Amino acid sequence: MFFSCFLGLLIIFSGIVYFFLFSEIFKIKNIEINQIKIIDLNIVKSGLENILKQGSVLGFLVVSDNILFMPSERINNFLKDFPAIESFSWKKNIFSRSLKVDIKERENIGILRQKEDKNYYFDKNGILFIEAPSSEGGMFLIIENELNYNFNLGNRILEMEPFNNLISIINFLNDNFQLHHIKLQLDKIEIVASLDNSHQILFYLETDNLNQIHSVLSYFVKNNFDFNLEYLDLRYLPNVYYK
């Protein structure tokens, strides 16, 4: 009798497990992704479908396409691999058996130009997220890479804080001068600007000291510093060198 009860309970338990893990009732019916412009929506959707088909591993069981058991880590890692995605979120709806994905794409603020490799658009965080045509320019901020190495898709031009400081300096100079070139070089950042079209000034900046450099430039402009110079070297603050 005990064996019969045990067998009955085992059958019931197996039925419950099968119901929740393999029943068509919990099979995912749809993947919804918000409208995106840069990334191919079909690539994202196809990748997510493959992940869901591969399923979640529960012990020795593999549960595929189940709304209750989502391979969360693999979904997150898949979406993180797209350089053009700034942020994302996703949620499942058990009742409609759907996966809804919201993606925010990066917005370009400029182009990194490279002599011997591809050019890339970069966003407000300095992340290279999509290839740019070699002829692209116009209204975009252009930074020229003159380092002895090339950047690749997904790289940062600079770490976040130095990059934000560089953009602040660029915006400041743009408000007070006419910007011509911004160059990343081995020992400095070189910015070429002018007060008018006839006289150009070279600004030499140190990557690790951009915040203080911004303050010095602000002080010079507010105090009517004579910028009729060949160059202004701000790499060795508090010392300032100019000619």
Instruction: Measure the CA–CA gap between 159 and 56, rounded to whole angstroms.
Output: 36
Q: Is residue 65 within 8 Å of residue 55, measured between CB atoms?
A: yes
Quick one: tokens of 109? 């603020």
- What average pLDDT is seen over the chain? 87
Secondary structure class of 208 (helix, strand, coil)? helix
Residue 229's pLDDT is what? 86
Radius of gyration, alpha carbons of the chain? 28
Beta-carbon contacts of 137 under 8 Å, excluding residues fewer than 6 positions away, are 111
Residue 152 has pLDDT above 80, yes or no: yes
pLDDT digits (tens, 9 = 90+) for 101-122: 999 999 999 999 998 889 999 9
pLDDT digits (tens, 9 = 90+) for 6-37: 455 546 555 555 444 556 677 888 999 999 99
Secondary structure class of 205 (helix, strand, coil)? strand
Residue 111's pLDDT is what? 96
Residue that wins the pLDDT comparison between 62 and 69: 69
Quick one: tokens of 89? 């979120």
Question: Where does residue 193 rank: exposed (0-12), middle (13-18), buried (19+ CB within 10 A)?
Answer: buried
How many Cβ atoms from other residues are within 10 Å of residue 102's Cβ? 13
Residue 184 has pLDDT above 90, yes or no: yes
Residue that wins the pLDDT comparison between 133 and 58: 133
The 10 Å CB-count burial string (b at 16+, else e) for 220-236 is beeeeeebeeeebbbbe
Residue that wins the pLDDT comparison between 228 and 78: 78
Residue 94 has pLDDT above 60, yes or no: yes
- Please give the domain boundaries of the chain with CATH numbers for all domains: 22-105 (3.10.20), 110-242 (no CATH)
Quickly state the pLDDT bin for 210 (edges 50, 70, 90). very high
Provide mean pLDDT across the span 219-225: 87
Question: Which helix (H) or strand (E) covers residue 22, if one does?
Answer: helix 2-22
Provide mean pLDDT across the span 220-239: 89
Q: Is residue 196 within 8 Å of residue 210, measured between CB atoms?
A: no
Residue 144's pLDDT is what? 95
Could you tell me what percent of the chain has a pLDDT over 70? 86
Quick one: tokens of 200? 């150009």
Q: Is residue 57 within 8 Å of residue 43, measured between CB atoms?
A: no
Provide mean pLDDT across the span 137-141: 74
Which range is least confidently modeled, 24-28, 70-74, 158-162?
Answer: 24-28
Question: Which helix (H) or strand (E) covers residue 169, if one does?
Answer: helix 160-176
Chain centroid offset of residue 153 CA: 10
